Every structure is written in structure tokens, then in C-alpha cells.
Amino acid sequence: MARQGSQQNEIEYDEEPTLRSLVKRQDSFFLNRITNLFEDQSTSLEELREAQAHSFELMLSDLMPQERQLLYKFLAVVAYILSRQLHGVAD
């Protein structure tokens, strides 16, 4: 998702099943978009705001620990991008 010198902010290949599990819980355009880890993605700030709102809603669900951890990671990256008004790019 975002590179900041550490792989903590990236969705790793081994997290793909958890990501797909989150998609099953909520049909989010953004989660669906990032499930293809091998394709670069570009996202508008408005889409990121919408993704953030959907993710906050999803946090209220009864999530598995690994799902919650991945969602925290996702929210941290999205919040950083929005606070800096950066263009959302995933690679």
C-alpha cells in the first residue's frame, strides 16, 4: 500500500487470505481493488475518504484478530495519505 522504509505498511502476499476475508464481510470497492496485489493502483483522495469511512464501519464488526490487525494497518496508511493530501498509490 505505502512504502515508508518498512514493510509494516504494506499488504504482504501472506495477508491476502485475510484481505479476501474482509472483502467477504463488506463489499467495499476499495478492498476489492487492492486484492490484486500484483497490479499497481491509483486512487483519488475522495475514494480514500470513502474507503476510510467504510473501514471505520467495518471496525464495528466482530472481526478475527488478523482481520482487525490488517484493517488497522490499512486505516493507518489511508489516514497518513489523507493527512498529507497525497495521491493514493499502491504498488
What's the mean per-residue pLDDT of the chain? 80
pLDDT in tens, 24-60: 888 788 888 877 766 777 788 898 899 899 999 999 9
What is each CA distance from 24 to 20, 45, 86, in whole angstroms? 6, 24, 29
60-78 mean pLDDT: 92
All three cell numbers of 2 = 505505502
Q: How far is the C-alpha of 65 from the C-alpha of 63, rounded, in Å?
A: 6
- Domains of the chain by residue range: 7-90
Give the residue, 34 or 79, on which the prediction is more confident: 79
Question: 0.95 exceeded by the pTM?
Answer: no
Query: Which of the listed ranges 7-11, 12-16, 18-22, 87-91 does the model predict with the highest average pLDDT?
Result: 18-22
Q: How far is the C-alpha of 25 from the C-alpha of 86, rounded, in Å?
A: 28
